[in-house]
Copies of this chain bind each other. A is one copy, B any other.
Amino acid sequence: MPTVTFLPRYHKIDVELGCTVLDAAQRAGLNINVVCGGQGKCGKCIVFIQRGKIIFDHQKYAQFFTQDELAQGGCLACTTTIESDIQVLVPDTTLIQEQKILVEGQKTEIEFLPSVKKYYVELNLPTLTDPTPDLSRLLWMIQKNGGPVAEKIYAPLEVLRDIPAILRNSDWKVTGTIALVPGVYRLVDLQKNDTSKRLYGASVDLGTTTVVVYLWDLVNGKVVGVSSNYNRQISCGEDILARVNFARKNGLTKLQVLAAESINLALTTASDTAGIDREDIYEVVVAGNTVMTHILLGIDPAYMISEPYVPVVRRALSVAASRIGITCNSNGGLFVFPAVSDFIGGDVIADILTCGMVDREEISLLIDIGTNFEVVLGNKEWMFSCAGAAGPALEGGEVLFGMRANPGAIERIAINPNTFNTTYSTINNTKPRGICGSGLIDLLAELLRTCVIDRTGRINLGIKNKRIRQGKYFPEVVVTWAKESEIGKDIVITENDIKNLIMSKASIHAACITLMKAADITRHQISKIYFAGAFGNYLNKKNATTIGLIPEIPIEQIENIGNGAVAGANIALINRRKRKALDNIALKIAYIELNAEPTFMDEYTSSSFLPHTDLSLFPNVQRMLDECRLQRE
């Protein structure tokens, strides 16, 4: 068996001949960046083979390497097979960095009414004159201590079986945990002595790409830990479609296990950091998109990805956490948010809960941009929703120097209208390695404002500036010069990149207009636009309006709610009444299938301009553009 030594940290692992370097690295515990799921498409997993025999097609993947990199033995880990003992250098840039994940959520005041509670009780010993059965003795004392009516508390068999020994081994001093979900009170478990202070719950945003976990102390209502990591399903495919196709070919089991493992990993990190025993976590609340929650529950998602796009279930579900491999208290419960449809999942319901639009008379527009986008329009009376694929451009895909919001990504840009020099900031303030979504939107707006591009997105090569040039295939604009960049190359944006970005923003805008037309309202009636998702949180609201990503409304009415999914999960975790209302919210929301809606295609065409064919819909943008053009002339 060949031995693979990974530098710089000297991880060693024995693998079979023909194994890929990526597999070896994953088994050695190294988190290699594989955006494309290991298909040799993204070029993010560059490693340097320093010794030993490997097979790698340098010609096929030449585009991903500089001459220097090739000279140093650069290969893509995912398509390099191991033919002998080898030594591999894994550069830091190839390892997955702590992504800038939004975990704060909306700061709202939520009443603390957790749906699980512990009761420490000291029981009277049974006697000949009081031979009350163990269970009644216990539940009556819990009732006496403020718990629910004893007769209403259901005791599952696994707890019942433990009761007699626990009571007698603890001198009849015990702590009972009661689930307080109205109507279905349940004795979750029984422990010796007083453990009433050890009661925790977790809320989870189960995203296609990332998993975010908040750990709450359910006695005092405080967050005690936060953790996030990549969804380990990424190794089975980058996006939802790839995952479902993987499940079709290989069955659901692996994806289900990986989903559970991803949550477990974040739970472990959060609880270890907080110094908490995972057995003391009694509840896990999960918000995720419909495909992710189907997979987590082991329910086939296959029928959601092709016509007529049908989920198996959309109601909220409560299951035993152990049933699906979540390791918390062995009798702990798992609550999964309800969904509206295949593409309006529990994450969107959580967003709605977080922004509070469901409680207000005024009409709000909620936009969640992630791997896909979802839009919800409505108020406490009614809601319309739709969803679509924005294309990968806003997440850094299909854009030459696009990247995710990792360290080194340019997240803010301004362009000097005279020199066309750029001012920018990067995540972690390191040298730039690429441009992430919020940077790309800034860039598009700035290029438009400075007339470097016209409203169709064409680059004006007539401008005499060294930053504006004809590239190998397309006209391009230099954002940073090679010498300033981490990657030793000019970071540019091409006319093709701009075309892809416009297609993305056009979909989202067209979706907004489609819902507004369905509800027969204009942009003047929208009191709030909420951006949800990590992307939205770093967005420059003005620039988003400038390029026509969203309908134009006063900037101060646009709000970023951040990771609304985990924020909504938090709310459902700490307030049982809010949780109970979720199914009703989900039932209230009408879903509009964009593919079946002719309005959408019309609006998409009209939206494929910056900001739109009809400038009267964007009066402020028109004013700004007019001013800029005037200055330039």
The answer on a CB contact under 8 Å between B596 and A134 is no
The answer on a CB contact under 8 Å between A163 and B596 is no
Contacts of A163 in B (CB 8 A): 312-313
Q: Contact residue range for chain A?
A: 35 or more
- A130's closest neighbor in chain B, by CB? B308
B-contact bits for A585-604, CB 8 A (1 contact / 0 none): 00000010101100000000
The answer on a CB contact under 8 Å between B311 and A128 is no
Cα–Cα distance between A300 and B132 once the two chains are bound (Å) = 16
Give the shortest distance, in Å, between A268 (CB) and chain B (any CB). 24
Number of copies of chain A assembled together: 2
- Indicate if A60 sits at the interface (CB-CB under 8 A): no
The answer on a CB contact under 8 Å between A312 and B133 is yes
- Indicate if A450 sits at the interface (CB-CB under 8 A): no
B-contact bits for A385-426, CB 8 A (1 contact / 0 none): 000000000000000000000000000000000000000000
Contacts of A341 in B (CB 8 A): 131, 133
One of A88-96, A154-162, A359-367 at the interface: A154-162
Partner of A164 from the list B131, B134, B312, B323 (CB cut-off 8 Å) is B312
The answer on a CB contact under 8 Å between B596 and A135 is no
- A165's closest neighbor in chain B, by CB? B300
Give the shortest distance, in Å, between A39 (CB) and chain B (any CB). 28
One of A275-283, A314-322, A464-472, A568-576 at the interface: A314-322
Give the shortest distance, in Å, between A182 (CB) and chain B (any CB). 12
The answer on a CB contact under 8 Å between B157 and A297 is yes
- Indicate if A302 sits at the interface (CB-CB under 8 A): yes
The answer on a CB contact under 8 Å between A314 and B133 is yes
Partner of A157 from the list B160, B314, B317 (CB cut-off 8 Å) is B317
- Indicate if A299 sits at the interface (CB-CB under 8 A): yes
Partner of A135 from the list B309, B313, B324, B342 (CB cut-off 8 Å) is B313
The answer on a CB contact under 8 Å between B128 and A161 is no
Contacts of A593 in B (CB 8 A): 128-129, 131
The answer on a CB contact under 8 Å between A134 and B313 is yes
Contacts of A151 in B (CB 8 A): 315, 583
The answer on a CB contact under 8 Å between A309 and B131 is yes
Cα–Cα distance between A151 and B161 once the two chains are bound (Å) = 32
Contact residues of A between 308 and 349, Cβ < 8 Å to B: 308-315, 317, 319, 323-324, 341-342
Partner of A310 from the list B126, B310, B314, B323 (CB cut-off 8 Å) is B126
Cα–Cα distance between A129 and B597 once the two chains are bound (Å) = 10
Cα–Cα distance between A183 and B184 once the two chains are bound (Å) = 10
Give the shortest distance, in Å, between A250 (CB) and chain B (any CB). 16
The answer on a CB contact under 8 Å between A302 and B164 is yes
The answer on a CB contact under 8 Å between B128 and A312 is no
Partner of A596 from the list B129, B315, B591 (CB cut-off 8 Å) is B129
State the A residues within 8 Å of B (CB): 126-136, 151, 155, 157, 160-161, 163-165, 168, 183, 297-300, 302-303, 307-315, 317, 319, 323-324, 341-342, 583, 591, 593, 595-596
27 contacts between A and B (CB under 8 A): A126-B310, A128-B308, A128-B309, A128-B595, A128-B596, A131-B309, A131-B310, A131-B341, A133-B311, A133-B313, A133-B314, A134-B303, A134-B310, A136-B313, A136-B315, A157-B298, A157-B299, A157-B324, A160-B297, A160-B299, A160-B312, A160-B317, A163-B312, A163-B313, A164-B302, A164-B303, A183-B183
